[in-house]
């Protein structure tokens, strides 16, 4: 069992589900169904076997579009087990399906432009791997998982390093592609001259972004961030940028409406 699932079960069940133990016979068997209560893109289904420790039937796969009323999974097990783990299972499914659903909306918004949507590190503490998997299931591209697997020089790094060129030159020893945030035209030219592989342009308007992309002229990959929403994502994508990134995919996705129905197994 992965640590995040173990923690969630311990947090909710504690020393035992007093309600279920009091009113449900120990040997009672039951069947349970997870049902979508609205249109959504599902994610987190693979966690169910881990949460319950029981075989189950998956009726959908992560990344599938589901309609209101669609059954996502079925499970037959002791009723006490199904009841005590219901909320943990729903918490994961609702949260991760929310991320996948919003990710799919972003991916659809830029479809046909040649621009990819990236997620960010703005994730729920302890949930990053799951939320990024859900984002990928929804159709966006995972950016770095953490500080350890990719270089991203931001404005505070530049200030601490003593400038754009110094930051880039000191980072070359990592052997990793270098992405750097630039905020002014002077920083842009300095980053290009220093051989940056990937430029992060933050808080530009779509028109400004198109101008900067034209000036960069494919000398580096271009990512746009800051204020990217579903309403404007396509306008930014049409600037010619290679990527748009949005923290909202993971930090602002709402929980989707999914329910669990239990029936006595006679």
Compute the average pLDDT of residues 181-201.
Answer: 94
The pLDDT confidence band at residue 266, using thresholds 50, 70 and 90, is low
Structure tokens at 5: 């699932």
Question: What percent of the chain stands above pLDDT 70?
Answer: 100
Report d(CA 93, CA 95) in Å as an integer.
Answer: 6
Which residues are identified as catalytic?
A: 87, 122, 154, 181, 202
pLDDT at 6 over 90: yes
Q: Is 50 exposed, middle or buried (0-12, 13-18, 19+ CB in 10 A)?
A: middle
Report d(CA 211, CA 191) in Å as an integer.
Answer: 17
The pLDDT confidence band at residue 1, using thresholds 50, 70 and 90, is confident
Residues 209 and 185 sit within 8 Å (Cβ to Cβ):
no
pTM: 0.95
If one counts every other C-beta atom within 10 angstroms of the C-beta of residue 225, the result is 21
**Which among 36, 43, 34, 37 has a CA at the least distance from the CA of 100?**
43
Q: What is the pLDDT of residue 85?
A: 98
Structure tokens at 8: 């969630």
**Which among 32, 138, 115 has a CA at the least distance from the CA of 75?**
32
pLDDT at 177 over 90: no
pLDDT at 87 over 80: yes
Give me the residue spans of the domains in the chain.
3-99+254-264, 104-251
Report the DSSP beta bridge partners of residue 243.
116, 223
pLDDT at 231 over 70: yes
Q: What is the pLDDT of residue 16?
A: 96
Q: Is 106 helix (H, G, I), strand (E, B) or coil?
A: helix
Radius of gyration, CA atoms only, the chain: 23
Compute the average pLDDT of residues 90-104.
Answer: 98
Burial 16-26 (b: 16+ CB within 10 A, else e): ebeebeeebee
Q: Render pLDDT for 133-149 as a digit per residue (tens, 0 to 9).
A: 999 999 999 999 999 99
Class of domain 104-251: alpha beta
Fold held by 3-99+254-264: Aldehyde Oxidoreductase; domain 3 (3.90.1170)
Report d(CA 108, CA 253) in Å as an integer.
Answer: 16
């Amino acid at each position: 069992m992965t640590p995040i699932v173990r923690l969630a079960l311990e947090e909710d069940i504690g020393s035992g589900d007093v309600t279920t133990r009091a009113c449900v016979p120990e040997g009672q068997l039951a069947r349970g169904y997870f049902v979508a209560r609205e249109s959504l893109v599902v994610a987190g289904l693979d966690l169910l076997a881990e949460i319950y420790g029981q075989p189950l039937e998956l009726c959908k796969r992560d990344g599938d579009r589901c309609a209101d009323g669609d059954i996502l999974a079925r499970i037959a097990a002791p009723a006490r087990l199904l009841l005590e783990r219901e909320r943990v299972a729903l918490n994961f499914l609702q949260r991760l399906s929310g991320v996948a659903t919003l990710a799919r909306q972003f991916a659809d918004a830029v479809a046909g432009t040649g621009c990819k949507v990236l997620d960010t590190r703005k994730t729920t503490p302890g949930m990053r791997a799951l939320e990024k998997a859900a984002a990928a299931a929804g159709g966006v591209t995972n950016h770095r998982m953490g500080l350890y697997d990719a270089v991203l020089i931001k404005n505070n790094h530049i200030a601490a390093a003593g400038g754009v060129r110094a930051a880039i030159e000191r980072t070359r020893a990592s052997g990793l592609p270098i992405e750097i945030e630039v905020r002014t035209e002077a920083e842009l030219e300095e980053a290009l001259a220093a051989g940056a592989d990937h430029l992060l342009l933050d808080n530009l308007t779509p028109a400004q972004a198109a101008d900067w992309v034209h000036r960069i002229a494919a000398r580096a990959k271009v990512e746009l961030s800051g204020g990217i929403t579903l309403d404007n994502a396509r306008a930014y994508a049409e600037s010619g940028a290679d990527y748009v990134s949005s923290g909202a995919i993971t930090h602002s996705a709402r929980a989707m409406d999914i329910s669990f129905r239990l029936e006595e197994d006679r």
